[in-house]
Chains A and B, each alone.
Chain A
Amino acid sequence: MEGFLAATVIAGMPLLFATTGEIITEKSGLLNLGVEGLMLMGAIMGFVAGYETGNPWMGLLGAILAGAAGSLIFAFLTITLRANQVVTGLTLTIFGTGFASFMGKSYVGLVVPQTIKDFFVKIHVPLLGDIPFIGPVFFRQDVFVYFGYFLVVLVSLYFYRTKRGLNLKAVGESAASADASGINVMVYKYVHTCIGGALCALGGAYMSLVMMSVWVENVVAGRGWIAVALVIFASWNPIKAFIGAFLFGGLSILGFRLQSMGIHISQYWVDMLPYAATIVIIILSSRKNKKENQPPADLGIAYFREER
């Protein structure tokens, strides 16, 4: 059981990064449906940079740059040129899928260098790692997982305990009011979209560099879309995103687990579970009417200063 839960934490990591990234983006009022594409761009650029240099930091940097660049295209089109956010996001996904498939053509089947494998080796945290049950599940993981925990804390503090976080909320709730109170709306939207995109890309890079450690085409396989749904499940709260990511991480590896326990269900039925569960979750969360669970009021609406 501990082994399964520890694997769940790993399977949940890409979802955690992508969901947190999309929460940051949506907090600024932008609905970026390009998460799947951004994750794929991060997965391939992280892999290429890591493979070519053998340096894990270069791999992560490659992913961050790819994600920031991809979301910059989205930001320019939707913020400055006021294009439809849904269609632009979908286009970003199509572009990202093609980009990753093309860039990865010559890398299919190649394995990440040993230096990178060593970097992402499991680390037993002193003391915490010795706590019964919790230790083996959460504190005998690789550095990326610890960074994931740190990210949740960091983003929560940023949202709820800093002035910038409060400003960001104002931008997403009512860009016109935020603008009137002297907040630079455009800068907030651009910066948070790019940070969000970079985090999505890191989630993708974790899949290609650590989970698979070999390049396979379309490695992300729909997780970007599950992340978009998890944002709703988490009601834009990074801590709930953490819970959601591990629930879904668990669902995605349940099939292997059941088979090893000798329970024979068709793999295709088990594969449907995360998607079916996503549907159940968006239905359930649409019933929540509490004020703090609502999306940012300006989500998906372009801001025109001239039409204020």
Chain B
Amino acid sequence: MTRFNIIKRDDLPKKREWIIRTLAILFSLVSAGLVILALGFDPLEVFPGMVTGALGTEIRLTQTILKAIPLIVTSLGILVAFKMNFWNIGGEGQILMGALAAAYVALNVEGLPKPVMLLLMAAAAMVAGGIWAFIPAFFKARMGVNETIFTLMLNYIAIKFVTYLQYGPWKSPESQGFPKVATFPDNATLPKLFGIHIGWVIALILVVLVYIFINHTKKGFEIRVVGESKETARYAGMNISSVIIVAMLISGGLCGLTGMIQASAVEKTLAASLSGGYGFTAIITAWLARLNAIAVLFVCFAFAILLQGGSYIQISMQIPAAVADMLQGIILFFVLGSEFFIQYKIGIVRKNIPQKEVA
């Protein structure tokens, strides 16, 4: 008779950790392939189709990068909150409020030179996103109110509010009855560099800044300690309330900046659909990146391939884009499960062998 014995591993070498994660992703692709097969499509056509659809031509690669940019910036924002064990599910709402503030500046401030205008829009967006994150952070810090539900409810309120503006007071008279906010003037749109709007430069800079902030500054250290254990943080004399609020201002500010980038460079206006689910997908990418800013860059690019590939197969193979959503779910299920094999090893205990030999 045998039974299993689960033992916590000592630190596993980094290399083996990544081998286990890679295996998990391979397994998830295999099972996703089986799902695709069960749905009546050929996975050997779908997967290569997704890759060529995302990277095959220069235009498609551009599309993939355009999807990666908001994902990277939002993931960085989510990462700062998650590091602190603060479940910011409100990325969508923070993105929208950021876009709203940027649109207000773009449509109401006149006669500014382009760089000043763009900086002002970015600042307004970061403040608005920050405020939208500050509200739940304040209640969490002062009264221990559950932040998961609070941030999530604020998403819905932001969506309804922007929809209200889009269909009501902010509807452009020139849009011939369409519920559309006026298009931004030229000095309010982000310039391009190498054919792609400079959001990609911003994203790269932010990856480095967030990495340094989390790993090499006092505030970043405090955020990590609060995330590990509130008791330790309190014992060390940290002001937990202020750590939560500062971290959430940064988190919401980054999400708000995503809103400005999307409104200014992609939509060139304000629309309720502008957040495009990035606030939710960023939760997955931030987690898959093990809350590491550098890893966020690569994970988000991989996810952008999945997203762009998903919309490509929809057009070229008539496969609904929802398949890509399911694939995201399946991949994350496997990666979540694989963490167990990184943290624990399973020993087989035989009854007649003394316990100590196994342990």
- A binding-site residues for B, Cβ under 8 Å: 33, 73, 76-77, 80-84, 86-88, 90-92, 94-99, 101-102, 105, 222, 225, 228-229, 232, 266, 268-269, 271-272, 275-276, 278-279, 282-283, 286-287, 304, 306-307
Contacts and interface: CB of A to CB of B under 8 A. Distances in A.
B336 A77 contact: yes
B295 to A, nearest CB: 16
B320 to A, nearest CB: 5
Q: Which of B164, B287, B322, B340 has the most CB of A within 10 A?
A: B322
Interface in B143-157: 143-146, 148-150, 152-154, 156-157
Contact of B337 (A83, A98, A105, A232): A83
Contacts of B337: 76-77, 81, 83
Contacts of A266: 164, 168
Given A94-B328, A275-B153, A105 B322 contact: yes
B6 interface: yes
Interface string B1-28: 0000111100000000000000000000
Interface string B323-334: 111101110110
B160 A272 contact: yes
Given A83-B340, A272-B161, A94 B167 contact: no
Nearest to A103: B322
A83 B339 contact: yes
B153 to A, nearest CB: 4
Q: Is the interface of B mostly helix, strand, loop or mixed?
A: helix
A282 B149 contact: yes
- Can you list the 5 inter-chain pairs with the closest CB atoms, starting with the nearest? A98-B325, A95-B329, A268-B164, A102-B322, A101-B322
15 contacts: A81-B340, A83-B337, A86-B148, A91-B329, A94-B280, A94-B284, A95-B330, A95-B333, A96-B329, A98-B325, A99-B329, A102-B326, A272-B157, A278-B153, A279-B154
B47 interface: no
Contacts of A229: 146, 149, 153
Contacts of B150: 279, 282
A88 B163 CA distance: 30
Contact of B329 (A86, A98, A268, A272): A98
A105 B319 CA distance: 10
Contact of A90 (B8, B283, B339): B283
B339 to A, nearest CB: 6
Interface string B161-194: 1011001100000000000000000000000000
A268 B171 CA distance: 15
B336 A279 contact: no
A91 B332 contact: yes
B30 to A, nearest CB: 17
B164 A269 contact: yes
B87 interface: yes
B143 A283 contact: yes
Nearest to B162: A268
A81 B167 contact: no
A88 B326 CA distance: 14
A145 B149 CA distance: 27
Contacts of B156: 222, 272, 275
